[in-house]
Amino acid sequence: MAGERGGQNHEFSKPKGTQDLLPGTVEKWQYLENKARDLCCRYHYQEIRTPIFENTELFQRGVGETTDIVEKEMYTFPDKGNRSMTLRPEGTAGVVRAYAENKLYADPDVTKLYYIGPMFRYEQPQAGRYRQFHQFGVEAFGSADPAVDAEVIALGYSFYKEIGLNSVRVEINSVGTAECRAAYRAKLVEYLTPMKAELCKDCNSRIDRNPMRVLDCKIDAHRFADAPTILEYLDEDCVNHFQAVQRYLKAMDIPFDINPRLVRGLDYYTHTAFEYKSEGIGAIDTIGGGGRYNGLVGEIGGQDQPGVGFGLGLERILLVLENQGVTVPGVEPLDVYFIGMGTEAEEAVIRLLYEARAAGLTAEKDYQSRKMKTQMKSADRFQARYVAILGEDELKTGTISLKRMDTGEQVTVPLAELVAHIKK
C-alpha cells in the first residue's frame, strides 16, 4: 500500500474541538463513569444507550427550533437515502424517543433511566467546552410528583459531592406551564421592545420568537435587572409544585438559591428548571443542569407522560476538579510483574501470567527481551506491588522468588501457592 501512495508521509490531526483520551487520562473518565453508575444503581436508575445520530426532526421538535442548539450548533448531514440526520447535540430527545417507541410507558412504575456518552455541537471550543463532549444524564418518566424533581436534583448534587467537588450550589426556578408563559411572554415583550435597538443581534431575533431566551444572553444580561420574572405569573398549581420542590430539598439539606432569571437553553422545560454551579472555570460557573418537561413525550409522538431529568458535562467536571486541586484516581497499581530468567522459565511465566489474570490479579511481563535491571524499572513504573522472579533453579524446585516492592522483602513460595500468597 505504501508503494501505491508513492511513499508520501501523511500527517493527520484530530478535528477542532475534539480530544484524544490517552492512557493515564482515560482512567479519570472511568472513575467518573463508575461513580455515576454506582450512584444510579443506588437511586434505582437503569442504563439506556441510544443511537449517536437520529432524524434531524427529532431535535427540531424535541429541543426547539428557536434554540441556539438547533439554529446554530447541530452537526446535520443527508444520509445515502437523502434523509436528514443529526449527531445528537443532547441526550434527552433521544431517550424520550426510545421511551415512546419502545412503549416503556406501559410500565406501571416510574421509568428511571440514565445515560453516559458523547454529544456533538458545532460551537467555538473553549475551556471545558468541546465540539464532541460527554454527558452523564438521567431521565425519570411517569410521575408529576415534585418529589421526583427533588430526587433528580439530589442525585446530581450527590454525584458532585461524592467525586470531591467543592462549593457546589444549586439554583432553581419555575418556568411554569405554557399557559403561565403566554401571559409572562406578553409582559416581557412589552418590557424588551423599547430597548430593542440597543440589544445584540441574537436578542433581537429572540424577542419575536422566544423572548424568555433573551434573559439568558451572555452579552446583554446586565440590562435586564428590573425585567418582570416568570415567578410573578405562575398559577396556583405551579406555585404549589415549586414550593413542594423547595421543601423536599430542605428536607435533604441540599443548599439552593432561587434564580428567577434561570430559563435554560432548551424549549421543552415546564415547572422546575435548575442548574449546578461551582467555581473553577473562570467566568463560566455552570457545570450541569436540567428540569421538568411535561408534554415532551407527547410532542415527540408517544403517549404523553410527565418527565424530569438533567445532563452533566464530564469535560467541565474534570476541569473544575483539576482547578480545585482535587485528585482523581488514575492508573491502578499492578498486582504482580513476572520476570523469567531463561527459555524454560519464560515459558513457565506465560502460564503463571495467565493463571494470575484468571484468578483476578492484574499482572504483566516483559515482551522485549530486556535485561533484568530494565524489567525491574518497568515493574516500578507500573507501581507493581510484587515482582515474581522465576529462574532455572526455582523451576527445578517448583518455587518462585517473590519480592514485595514497598518493603524490599523477598520470600520464596511454592508455585502452587503464588496466587493465594499475593491475594493475602
Q: At what angle do helices 236-251 and 146-162 cross, to 10 degrees?
A: 40
Among 170, 119, 160, 139, smallest CA distance to 32 is for 160
Percent share of the chain, pLDDT over 70: 95
CA dihedral of 39, 43, 44, 50, whole degrees rounded to 10: -60
Q: How far apart are CA 21 and CA 311, in angstroms?
A: 21
The number of distinct structural domains making up the chain is 2
Are 127 and 273 in the same domain? yes
Greater model confidence, 191 or 412: 412
**276, 268 contact by CB (below 8 A):** no
Verify that 351 and 291 share a domain, yes or no. no
Domain span at 279: 26-176+234-323
Q: What is the DSSP letter of 333?
A: P
Point out the least confidently predicted range of 195-199, 238-242, 265-269: 265-269
> To 5 degrees, how large is the angle CA 399–CA 405–CA 407?
105
Domain presence at residue 2: no
Cα 375 to its chain centre, rounded Å, is 38
CATH number of the domain to which 272 belongs: 3.30.930.10
- Other CB atoms within a 10 A radius of the CB of residue 411 amount to 11
Which of 323, 358, 389 delimits the end of a domain?
Answer: 323
Q: Cell 439539606 appears where?
A: 253
Mean pLDDT within 84-95: 95
From residue 248, how far is each of 141, 144, 179, 234 by CA, in Å? 19, 14, 26, 20
Interval 149-185: pLDDT, tens: 999 999 999 999 999 998 899 999 999 988 888 888 8
Exposure letters 5-24 (e unless 16+ CB within 10 A, then b)? eeeeeeeeeeeebeeeeeee
The residue out of 282, 300, 323 marking a domain boundary is 323
Instruction: Please state at what angle helix 146-162 crosses helix 26-42, rounded to 10 degrees.
Output: 140
d(CA 18, CA 32): 19
Amino acid sitting at position 155: L
Strand order in the sheet with 84-87: 53-55, 84-87, 76-78
Domain end (from 293, 323, 353): 323
User: Can you give the CATH number for the domain in which 358 is found?
Assistant: 3.40.50.800
Q: Is residue 181 part of a domain?
A: no
pLDDT for position 6: 52
Same domain, 246 and 123: yes
| pLDDT score, position 245 | 98
Please give the biggest Cα pair distance in the chain.
Answer: 94
Res 401 pLDDT > 60: yes
Nearest Cα neighbor of 151 from 274, 56, 38, 34 is 274
**pLDDT-based confidence at 213, cuts 50/70/90?**
confident
**Domain-embedded: residue 8:** no
Say which residues have a Cβ less than 8 Å from residue 278's Cβ, sequence separation at least 6: 160, 165, 166, 167, 168, 169, 285, 287, 320, 324
CA distance linking residue 375 with residue 5, whole number of Å: 39
Q: Do 399 and 413 contact (CB within 8 A), yes or no?
A: yes
Same domain, 374 and 316: no
Claim to verify: residue 64 and residue 110 sit in the same structural domain: yes
Question: How many CB atoms lie under 10 A from the CB of residue 118?
Answer: 15
Asked if residue 119 and residue 253 are part of one domain, the reply reads yes
Could you tell me the end-to-end alpha-carbon distance of the chain, in angstroms, rounded to an integer?
A: 53
Which residue blocks in 232-338 are alpha helix, DSSP H?
A: 236-251, 296-300, 314-323
Note whether residue 382 is domain-resident. Answer: yes
Same domain flag for 386 and 314: no
Give the Cα separation of 362 and 330 in Å (integer): 15
**For 284-300, what is each residue's pLDDT tens digit?**
588 999 999 998 888 88
182 assigned to some structural domain = no
List the grid coordinates of 377: 524499572
Q: Are strands 399-404 and 386-390 parallel, antiparallel or unpaired?
A: antiparallel
Whether residue 145 is contained in a domain is answered as: yes
Same structural domain, 398 and 262: no
Give me the mean pLDDT over the 217-229 stretch.
74
As beta bridge partners, residue 338 has 365, 388
Residue 64 in any domain: the answer is: yes
CA 27 to chain centre: 14
Looking at the structure, tell me whether residues 350 and 305 fall in a common domain. no
Q: How many residues does the chain have?
A: 424
The predicted model gives 138-148 an average pLDDT of: 97
258 and 394 belong to one structural domain: no
pLDDT for the residue 283: 57
350 and 313: one domain?
no
- pLDDT per residue as tens digits for the range 236-255: 999 999 999 999 999 999 99
Distance of CA 19 to the CA centre of its chain: 15
Going by C-alpha positions, the residue among 295, 242, 248, 241 that lies closest to residue 268 is: 295
- Whether residue 227 lies inside any domain: the answer is no
Domain check: are 307 and 355 in the same one?
no
- pLDDT for residue 102 is more than 70: yes
